[in-house]
């Protein structure tokens, strides 16, 4: 019998050793701490042939031990029940003393105040050992529970302690793993945040460079267009005279007509360049964007063709915008034609309006936008889209991907210039193969800006009043003098403001001052006009300019009481504006 006992004992020890080893290798592979603890409880109960076991984790804040994993228990025990981490419980005792705490028969041991689940599970004996763990405080305790009184021998306690030590190692490395995982997650988040910030900064830099480039191109274009306008003013004006003179000689008349047409095309071109350069004379007023868009869409419908569906999504509460309505119309037309060209095989064009707020975060990404309230008009097509490398160029004048006879590359440039000059914002989103959205943001009409009313007279009407012409460009001056005289007026000339004031200070009768806006010398046209009006309050004034300068066009807007004749002009325009100015 003693031999059999000894053999059984050896057998039991071997099994326990094997259980510890197997658990050790499981714990090494497993990353999830809860799985490790649950498996520990199970292996431990099996190894000691008891119906229950549990792992209690120490909670420093509450100074208690919470059952976090276990084997054999009914619901409501694991994760719920706690015991105090002091000598009042068997677990607390093992935890505080660090030595195994064994109760062979709880019914005899009255020192403990046990929670009801012990009785509910019929538990009468327990053994607890400490689980050390990686931190400065032990991790908790490992307990086995039996429904019979039991005297745990030295081997059992060794097994339990050995097991708890392996478990302590596993817990330490798992919590190191956990800590590592948390660090890795945090680092990942930081890297993502950094990438995001870099992306945003990259975008903002890109936007800034883009805005600077457009600014530079705009200035260059504006300068060229201004000079071109002066030249065209002479050509367009003189060709009319020439045409009349050669009216009876068909071959020459044809040449004159050709020059006239070419000049008209040139004038149209400079007008578009000025629009891009934000130097066109705008006449902004309060505009009901929805009705303008609706009207405009009626005109667009036939231009789009049968194969393109047009959808309107106009927000009911859309505010009024402060813009030049004819230029908005023009912009819509250009955008719609671009959409049409992008959908040769048909598709959908959606026109939307809405009240929109551009906030600081938008502005931080779009350096050329100003935060605030806007009326947005968006055109979305289902066309071929714009590749990224091209997108950054579409606003540049003369940039086109279309055939020579199909596109001039000025459409978007004009829209861009108009929107910017109107204190608005424009943005293009495009996805190759899916389509393009162009959004224009128009400033709200806060006050009621009055449009400039120019009375129109049918036919060319001259007069006999005296007009003082101030123009520094000799070619233009000679030409204008000729035209004014041809309309029956008396004309006086001055090269600059000084000369003009000398004439005004003299005895000459003068009805109208017709002055260029930009002149060499200390005074511009507006300042000359102010000085002249101080001397002769009854004097009428008509301005002319290749483009609109700040002095006359406040922020690109015409002062309400100012009459401006934009260069180049036809004699009929000159005649009409002279009459309008004299009648003002
Ligand atoms: N809705 C769109 N879908 C695809 N590409 C577009 C769209 N709008 C503009 N583009 C691209 O931008 C380029 C420039 O457009 P822009 O309107 O300035 O000139 P254009 O249409 O080529 O010529 P223009 O308008 O002077 O007749 C176009 O050639 C085209 O490549
Ligand atoms: Mg176009």
Q: Return the pLDDT at 550.
A: 46
Between the CA of 344 and the centroid of ligand 1 the distance, in Å, is 13
User: Using one digit for the tens of pLDDT, what is the confidence trace for 530-575?
Assistant: 999 999 999 999 998 765 544 455 545 556 677 888 777 778 888 9
Residue 381 CB–ligand 1 contact under 6 Å? yes
Q: Return the pLDDT at 244.
A: 86
Residue among 30, 81, 85 nearest 59 (CA): 85
What are the residues facing 431 on neighbouring strands? Answer: 435
Q: Return the pLDDT at 450.
A: 44
Q: What is the dihedral of CA 7, 9, 14, 15, to 10 degrees?
A: 110
Domains in the chain with CATH codes:
2-181 (3.30.450.40), 284-443 (3.30.565.10), 466-583 (3.40.50.2300)
The mean of the pLDDT values for the chain is 86
User: Strands 490-494 and 101-103: what pairing?
Assistant: unpaired
CA distance 45 to 39: 10
User: Using one digit for the tens of pLDDT, what is the confidence trace for 83-95?
Assistant: 888 988 899 999 9
Q: Using pLDDT thresholds of 50, 70 and 90, give the confidence band for residue 1.
A: very low
Between the CA of 417 and the centroid of ligand 2 the distance, in Å, is 14
Q: Return the pLDDT at 456.
A: 38
Point out the ligand 1 atom lying closest to the alpha carbon of residue 414.
18
Residue 411 CB–ligand 1 contact under 6 Å? yes
Q: Using pLDDT thresholds of 50, 70 and 90, give the confidence band for residue 242.
A: confident
Between the CA of 258 and the centroid of ligand 1 the distance, in Å, is 29
Between the CA of 405 and the centroid of ligand 1 the distance, in Å, is 13
- What are the φ and ψ backbone dihedral angles of 211, each rounded to 5 degrees? -65, -40
What are the residues facing 557 on neighbouring strands? Answer: 282, 554
Q: Using pLDDT thresholds of 50, 70 and 90, give the confidence band for residue 459.
A: low
More confident residue, 78 or 192: 78
CA angle centred on 412, ends 410 and 418, rounded to 5°: 100
Residue 344 CB–ligand 1 contact under 6 Å? no
Residue nearest to atom 8 of ligand 1 (CA): 338
Residue 466 pLDDT exceeds 80: yes
CA distance 203 to 262: 43
CA distances for 26 relative to 22, 78, 419, angstroms: 6, 22, 69
Mutation probe of ligand 1 site: the residue of 271, 391, 402 with most atoms within 8 A of C-beta: 402
Instruction: Please report the sign of the dihedral spanned by the C-alpha atoms of residue 522, residue 528, residue 530, residue 534.
Output: positive
Q: Are 225 and 547 in contact (CB under 8 A)?
A: yes
Point out the ligand 1 atom lying closest to the alpha carbon of residue 385.
4
Q: Using pLDDT thresholds of 50, 70 and 90, give the confidence band for residue 455.
A: very low
Q: Which ligand is nearest to the CA of 379?
A: 1
pTM score:
0.55
Between the CA of 407 and the centroid of ligand 2 the distance, in Å, is 6
Residue nearest to atom 4 of ligand 1 (CA): 385
Q: State the average pLDDT over residues 289-293.
A: 94
Between the CA of 201 and the centroid of ligand 1 the distance, in Å, is 28
Q: Is 307 exposed, middle or buried (0-12, 13-18, 19+ CB in 10 A)?
A: exposed
Q: Return the pLDDT at 554.
A: 55
CA distance 552 to 562: 8
CA distances for 339 relative to 189, 398, 485, angstroms: 41, 18, 49
Mutation probe of ligand 1 site: the residue of 303, 388, 412, 435 with most atoms within 8 A of C-beta: 412
User: Using one digit for the tens of pLDDT, what is the confidence trace for 493-531?
Assistant: 999 999 999 999 999 999 999 998 877 788 888 899 999
Q: Return the pLDDT at 363.
A: 84
Q: Return the pLDDT at 580.
A: 92
Q: Return the pLDDT at 547.
A: 59
User: Using one digit for the tens of pLDDT, what is the confidence trace for 31-67?
Assistant: 788 898 999 999 999 888 899 999 999 999 999 999 9
Between the CA of 401 and the centroid of ligand 1 the distance, in Å, is 7
Q: Using pLDDT thresholds of 50, 70 and 90, give the confidence band for residue 27.
A: confident
Residue 408 CB–ligand 1 contact under 6 Å? yes
Residue nearest to atom 29 of ligand 1 (CA): 400
Q: Return the pLDDT at 351.
A: 95
Q: For helices 325-342 and 289-304, give the axis angle rounded to 10 degrees.
A: 40
Helix (H) or strand (E) holding 344: none
Tokens of 434: 């899916």
């Amino acid at each position: 019998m003693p031999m059999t006992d000894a053999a059984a004992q050896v057998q039991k020890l071997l099994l326990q050793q094997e259980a510890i080893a197997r658990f050790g290798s499981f714990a090494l592979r497993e990353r999830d701490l809860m799985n490790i603890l649950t498996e520990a409880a199970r292996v431990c109960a099996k190894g000691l042939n008891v119906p229950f076991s549990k792992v209690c984790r120490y909670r420093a804040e509450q100074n208690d031990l919470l059952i976090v994993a276990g084997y054999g228990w009914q619901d409501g025990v694991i994760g719920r029940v706690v015991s105090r981490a002091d000598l009042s419980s068997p677990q607390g005792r093992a935890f505080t003393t660090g030595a195994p705490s064994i109760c062979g028969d709880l019914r005899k041991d009255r020192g403990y105040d046990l929670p009801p689940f012990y009785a509910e599970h019929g538990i009468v004996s327990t053994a607890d050992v400490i689980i050390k763990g990686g931190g400065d405080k032990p991790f908790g305790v490992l307990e086995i529970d039996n429904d019979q009184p039991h005297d745990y021998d030295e081997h059992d306690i060794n097994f339990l302690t050995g097991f708890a030590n392996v478990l302590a190692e596993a817990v330490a490395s798992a919590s190191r793993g956990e800590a590592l995982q948390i660090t890795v997650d945090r680092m990942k988040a930081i890297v993502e945040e950094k990438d995001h910030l870099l992306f945003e900064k990259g975008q903002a830099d890109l936007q800034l460079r883009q805005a600077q480039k457009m600014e530079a191109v705009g200035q260059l274009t504006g300068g060229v267009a201004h000079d071109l306008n002066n030249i065209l003013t002479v050509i367009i004006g003189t060709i009319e005279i020439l045409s009349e003179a050669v009216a009876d000689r068909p071959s020459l008349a044809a040449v004159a007509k050709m020059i006239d047409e070419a000049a008209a095309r040139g004038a149209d071109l400079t007008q578009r360049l000025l629009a891009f350069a934000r130097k066109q004379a705008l006449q902004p007023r309060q505009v009901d964007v929805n009705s303008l868009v609706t009207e405009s869409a009626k005109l667009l419908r036939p231009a789009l063709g049968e194969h393109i569906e047009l959808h309107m999504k106009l927000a009911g509460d859309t505010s009024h915008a402060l813009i030049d309505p004819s230029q908005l119309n023009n912009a819509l037309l250009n955008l719609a034609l671009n959409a049409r060209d992008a959908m040769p095989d048909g598709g959908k064009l959606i026109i939307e309006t809405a009240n929109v707020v551009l906030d600081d975060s938008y502005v931080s990404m779009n350096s050329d936008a100003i935060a605030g309230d806007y009326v947005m008009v968006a055109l979305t097509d289902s066309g071929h889209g714009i590749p990224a490398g091209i997108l950054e160029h579409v606003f540049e004048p003369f940039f086109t991907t279309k055939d020579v006879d199909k596109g001039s590359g000025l459409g978007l440039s004009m829209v861009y210039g108009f929107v910017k000059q109107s204190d608005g914002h424009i943005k293009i989103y495009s996805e190759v193969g899916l389509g393009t959205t162009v959004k224009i943001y128009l400033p709200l009409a806060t006050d009621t800006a009055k449009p400039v009313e120019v009375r129109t007279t049918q036919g060319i009407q001259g007069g006999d009043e005296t007009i003082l012409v101030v123009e520094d460009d000799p070619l233009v001056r000679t030409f204008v003098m000729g035209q004014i005289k041809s309309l029956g007026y008396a004309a006086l000339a001055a090269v600059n403001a000084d000369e003009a004031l000398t004439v005004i200070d003299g005895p000459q009768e003068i009805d109208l001052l017709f002055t260029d806006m930009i002149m060499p010398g200390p005074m511009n046209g507006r300042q000359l006009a102010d000085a002249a009006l101080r001397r002769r309050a009854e004097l009428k004034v008509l301005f002319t300019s290749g483009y609109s300068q700040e002095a006359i066009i406040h922020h690109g807007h015409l002062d309400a009481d100012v009459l401006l004749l934009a260069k180049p002009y036809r004699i009929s325009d000159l005649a009409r504006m002279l009459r309008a100015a004299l009648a003002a």
